[in-house]
Structure 1
Amino acid sequence: MKNILSNIIIGLCTMLLLFSCTKDFEEINTNPNQADRLTNPGLLLPSIIRETSNRNWDNSFDRFAVVSDQVANQFASTFLDWTRLDSDRFFWSNYDKIKDLDKLIAISEEQGLANYKGVAMVMRAWLFQGITDNFGAIPYTEAGKAQDDINFPEYDSQEMVYAGILSELETANQLLGSTNELVLGDILYNGDITGWKKFANGLRLRILLRQSGRKDPSAEMQQILGNPTTYPIFTSDEDQAALQYLTDLGNEHPSFRGNVSDWASSSRLSTTMEAILKSMNDPRLTVFAMPTPASANTDTPEYGGVPNGIQDIEQWNGGSANHSAIGLLWAPQQFAPDMASENAAQSILMSYSELQFILAEARELGYITSGTAETYYLNGVRNQFDYYASRIPEHFVLPTANEVIPPTTYYTQDSVAYTGTQQDKLNKIYIQKWLSLFLVGSEAWSHWRRVGVPEITPGPNSVGYIPVRYLYPADEQRLNLENYNEGVELLGGPDDLTTPVWWDVD
């Protein structure tokens, strides 16, 4: 009897223990950092900013700087490898971060955290702008809605996407600063809410100008510029949207630990960039490119570009000994062993100089009435030199910070001075803006598609034209065919590299 009673007691204890373990199992074994269980939106923010900023750099180097003819790459410049499987290089993979941003927004709404929601909406708008500019019509209103059982999202026209983005940025500007919570995990602006408002309004001005061939941007542009208290904008490169990389592993510039041989053999300065910089005696040549290996250790360093779209770049101008690799700020550490990652280039999402060139064009065309086009233009040009001079480490021999600042005669030469016909002035804005967008995501390509400056000629080994959009991913045809077909209809042309996006009207 005693043994039976003991067994019953042991059994009851075991059942109670099992019940207790089962009751707490989900709580004990749930990862508190799992995205869909987060209660602190600041835990999501760093990875979103870092990963999308890294893609911004990677994709600009691999594809966008090539198609905009800033960088030469033997393989990418033929455009033969621009297949549907390559779509992630054109920002389609950023849909995964849009899902994370939607979660961050939902958490922020539940907790009444308007600052976090505003930050997330700005990042979301920037991501959607990059995706739609590269593809055209895209999933927008139904994107990231898998939690609502929308696994096959419909496509929206680019006109609708742009309208939605502009509305989101307006809302974000209103939300930011309306609550007082500190934004933790903000590796872009370190919790500076005004910085995010400036980024939001800068993006609005970028998008308004980009669609100006379709819609008059005057009213909205003047609304922003006419009320700087409500709508602050960048005032220097100190508040531009640029991710500062650090020295610790995982937070370094994406190319910092790259392979030297791969770097030097894959991409080089383009002859188009070389010619334009040399024609103006522009000291950014020493920033954007390294001296050719044949001249690197001489008293007369030389810089040589390579044309895009040729059969074998090793046959150009005597081979790689006479070619310039991309500049030290973006190069792997092995090129400059004592260079720290924080001295390397930033990943620029939007710069102060780009904003100034937007305002210069808008003023020249009469979209805005404040300021003068020449002042905006010169602000943008001068800031480029000041910014890159500030990035040059003190121990650099070539270039030094002082060498990056041009003499006053730079600004008086015919190719730079703000003189001539209106088209002459616009072309000068366009060239300087193209230079300022060096390795800034897809912006140089989008800028070129809209204005056609500088002139870019497809190489003899290319498909015979410069692409003006990218192909939808293969999975869209395989898994979302009905909506994909509707997206192609919204494009107004076939899903190929020659169908222009909505705002590309030239």
Structure 2
Amino acid sequence: MNAAKTILITLIATLGLVMTSCENLNEVNKNPNAAEEVSSNYVLTYVLTRSARVYYNLGAEGSKIAGAMQYNQVGTDLDAAAVNQYGWGQESWNEYYDILRNNKIIYDNAVRDNNNFFKAVSLTIRASLFGLLTDLYGDIPYSEALNAKTGTFFPKYDPQLDVYKGVLKDLQEANTLLSALTAKDAINATSDVLYKGDAAKWKKFANSLRLRYCLRVSSKKAEMSAAGINLEEEFKNAASAVFTSNADDALINFLGTNGENSALGGLLNSPSPKYFIKPSRTFVSKLLSTGDPRLERWAQPVLNKWDSRVKKTVDSTVKNRFGDSFTVKFIPATASSVDTSLYVGLPIGLPVVQAMAYNKGTDAATYNPERNPYISFIHDRYRKNTDPYVNINWMTYAEVEFILAEAALAGNFGVAGTAEEHYKKGIKASLEKVAALGATGFDFEKFYAQPGVSYAAATTKLERILEQKWIAGWLTVQSWFDWRRTGYPNLKTGPVAQSGAALPIRFMYPTPNLDPSYLVNYNQAVSRLETSAYIPAGQSKDHPYGKMWLLQGTSKPW
């Protein structure tokens, strides 16, 4: 065969291959690993677990929020500046926006496939995450965010009012969609690690979030109304389909099989047990004063107890009301200044050296600075990979009842039932959640009748509601948002607080990108913050003590 004939045959074969394959070129050019091609069921698992995890981490044991809300203090210099002294720095929001980008895939797929269940779920998640971002920072990239594909690399920071409006609109739409699902609308139950594809529970979650955000912006009622959001009507509409028991909670349990699905303090995430995290004296004292059994779920007795009733040191086994056993060394108390309680919290904001030696009294022995035996540790369950009472509570029935109690007290949200009825249900739900209603020797009605718990006995009803909501919100970020909005509970700073007699009120923006386009948007957002007396002279308003729109003009929390 001559060369010319060989070339001709090769050319014809090649052309034939091209012609027969031409109709499939689009298929060949598709990337099987592209995010657009991933099933929404697969993406949903990631979005739910990561959303819940970042929410949990904000208020978890040893976090800045846990320190600010005086659930915890740290007893060594590890993180003491941030946790005990409120020396907060800039905070990244990359993970939030990464989750939102993945959530957008679910939303876009739902629109394409006309699946209203997926659409409603993605709207609920979007509202929760954008709501959380604006709660933390103030103005944030919102309307132009997540549009890098179309060339928007430096989105503007939307005013906080517009973000809250969008959050409530998304939740409103989610409720509408979830109220009219058809057979074609479905989610794989195994992918939905929150509600197993139960649309009724998703509807309750969306509406419970609506209550949270109506209350969140209630001090800005006039501005929200001018923006087209009638908070009272929004609240009334949502309240008809919200959580009605602990079974409705937006809760994800830790599996404890790897670092990603395990609790923070277990060995999979923390090779060294976090004994330096202590329950705070503020929190411990409050629960001790009312004999609250939840303390025994969340903290454990001291290892060494000062006791004026003993004449010599003796080891004894102590059982709490739930049957947990602890070995406690009872030591004769020779100094009047020591705390003789079985549960001892670490005072707020002590200098590190004092914190490590707190309550040692006349004991001259040297102890590991993390393990001062005269201060309680948080309960051992927080040093495990998984535990029935350590889980991610995105939103709870107890929170809903406290919201309804506050709304009923305000009197303009059309709440069925009295403020006291909802307040009492909130306490009961929190106790039930940790199986404390059945604790040995615990009588709920006697507990509730105490002057320190009773709604009727409270001088300031709102303070009483928010105080119990704070207890029920143990190790969650929501108590910080509530305190910031109301000033309750009335928390005081310690002697080494970096900014004096005030707790911080916002997260600082991430380190600014030096691109001119980014800086314009960032500077505009900072200009809309309000300065305060707690920002040192010459420092930017992008500061933990700068007031976002939500707090401006409210005189809250200080």
TM over 0.5: yes
Answer yes or no: is 1:100 the counterpart of 2:78. no
Write the deviation string for residues 197-223 of structure 1: whole angstroms up to 9, x where unpaired.
111111111111121122169964455
Residue type of the alignment partner of 1:323? I
TM-score normalised by structure 1 residue count? 0.86
- Name 1:325's counterpart in structure 2: 377
Residue type of the alignment partner of 2:394? L
Instruction: Quote how far apart the aligned CAs of 1:498 are.
Output: 1.1
Write the deviation string for residues 37-73 of structure 1: whole angstroms up to 9, x where unpaired.
33x3212111011012112222212221111111113
Judged with a 3 Å threshold, the aligned counterparts in structure 2 of structure 1 residues 21 and 60 are, in CA distance, closer, same or farther, namely farther
- Name 1:196's counterpart in structure 2: 202
Instruction: Quote how far apart the aligned CAs of 1:297 are.
Output: 1.1
Retained in 1: the 8 A contact 2:301–2:328?
Answer: no
Instruction: Quote how far apart the aligned CAs of 1:17 are.
Output: 7.2
- Bigger CA radius of gyration: 2
Matches within 5 A, 1:263-278: 263-265=274-276, 267-278=277-288
- Name 1:258's counterpart in structure 2: 269
Write the deviation string for residues 242-270 of structure 1: whole angstroms up to 9, x where unpaired.
113335434333444233634112x2111
Retained in 1: the 8 A contact 2:207–2:238?
Answer: no
Judged with a 3 Å threshold, the aligned counterparts in structure 2 of structure 1 residues 56 and 255 are, in CA distance, closer, same or farther, namely farther
The CA RMSD measured in Å over matched residues stands at 3.0
Judged with a 3 Å threshold, the aligned counterparts in structure 2 of structure 1 residues 496 and 120 are, in CA distance, closer, same or farther, namely same
- Name 1:305's counterpart in structure 2: 345
TM-score normalised by structure 2 residue count? 0.78
How many residues are treated as equivalent by the alignment? 480
Instruction: Quote how far apart the aligned CAs of 1:454 are.
Output: 2.0
Which of 289, 297, 317 pairs up with 1:279?
A: 289
Instruction: Quote how far apart the aligned CAs of 1:21 are.
Output: 9.4
SS of equivalent residue, structure 2 residue 393? strand
Distance 1:499 1:458 in 2: 18
Distance 2:328 2:19 in 1: 79
- Name 2:337's counterpart in structure 1: none
Answer yes or no: is 1:497 the counterpart of 2:498. no
Retained in 1: the 8 A contact 2:101–2:146?
Answer: yes
Distance 2:490 2:170 in 1: 35
Distance 1:126 1:174 in 2: 17
Distance 2:212 2:380 in 1: 29
Distance 1:410 1:183 in 2: 44
Which of 472, 485, 492 pairs up with 1:436?
A: 472
Distance 1:203 1:158 in 2: 17
- Name 2:523's counterpart in structure 1: 485
Distance 2:440 2:28 in 1: 60
Instruction: Quote how far apart the aligned CAs of 1:79 are.
Output: 4.7
SS of equivalent residue, structure 1 residue 174? helix
Distance 1:293 1:3 in 2: 94
- Name 1:472's counterpart in structure 2: 509
Instruction: Quote how far apart the aligned CAs of 1:324 are.
Output: 2.5
- Name 1:396's counterpart in structure 2: none
- Name 1:459's counterpart in structure 2: 494
Write the deviation string for residues 337-367 of structure 1: whole angstroms up to 9, x where unpaired.
xxxx362522111111011011101111112
- Name 2:335's counterpart in structure 1: none
Instruction: Quote how far apart the aligned CAs of 1:426 are.
Output: 1.5
Residue type of the alignment partner of 1:276? K
Answer yes or no: is 1:45 the counterpart of 2:49. no
Judged with a 3 Å threshold, the aligned counterparts in structure 2 of structure 1 residues 255 and 9 are, in CA distance, closer, same or farther, namely farther
Distance 1:272 1:169 in 2: 36
Residue type of the alignment partner of 2:65? F
Distance 1:347 1:9 in 2: 68
Retained in 1: the 8 A contact 2:301–2:343?
Answer: yes
Residue type of the alignment partner of 2:472? S
- Name 1:336's counterpart in structure 2: none
Residue type of the alignment partner of 2:293? P
Write the deviation string for residues 384-437 of structure 1: whole angstroms up to 9, x where unpaired.
1111118xxxxxxxxx9624955431111001111146x522211010001111
Distance 2:20 2:151 in 1: 34
SS of equivalent residue, structure 1 residue 402? coil
Judged with a 3 Å threshold, the aligned counterparts in structure 2 of structure 1 residues 373 and 222 are, in CA distance, closer, same or farther, namely farther
Write the deviation string for residues 94-120 of structure 1: whole angstroms up to 9, x where unpaired.
011112222221111111011101100
Judged with a 3 Å threshold, the aligned counterparts in structure 2 of structure 1 residues 380 and 271 are, in CA distance, closer, same or farther, namely same
Which of 340, 352, 356 pairs up with 2:401?
A: 356
Judged with a 3 Å threshold, the aligned counterparts in structure 2 of structure 1 residues 188 and 10 are, in CA distance, closer, same or farther, namely same
- Name 1:337's counterpart in structure 2: none
Matches within 5 A, 1:152-231: 152-180=154-182, 181-184=185-188, 185-215=191-221, 220-221=231-232, 224-225=235-236, 231=240
Structure 1, unmatched stretches of 5+, are 334-340, 391-399
Retained in 1: the 8 A contact 2:69–2:480?
Answer: yes
SS of equivalent residue, structure 1 residue 261? coil
> More helix per residue: 1 or 2?
1
Distance 1:104 1:125 in 2: 14
Which of 330, 341, 346 pairs up with 2:391?
A: 346
Residue type of the alignment partner of 2:270? N
Which of structures 1 and 2 has the larger relative contact order (alpha carbons within 8 angstroms, sep 6+)? 1
Judged with a 3 Å threshold, the aligned counterparts in structure 2 of structure 1 residues 432 and 342 are, in CA distance, closer, same or farther, namely same
Retained in 2: the 8 A contact 1:385–1:405?
Answer: no
Structure 2, unmatched stretches of 5+, are 75-79, 306-325, 331-340, 361-368, 532-540
Distance 1:325 1:128 in 2: 35
Distance 1:435 1:167 in 2: 31
Judged with a 3 Å threshold, the aligned counterparts in structure 2 of structure 1 residues 401 and 263 are, in CA distance, closer, same or farther, namely farther
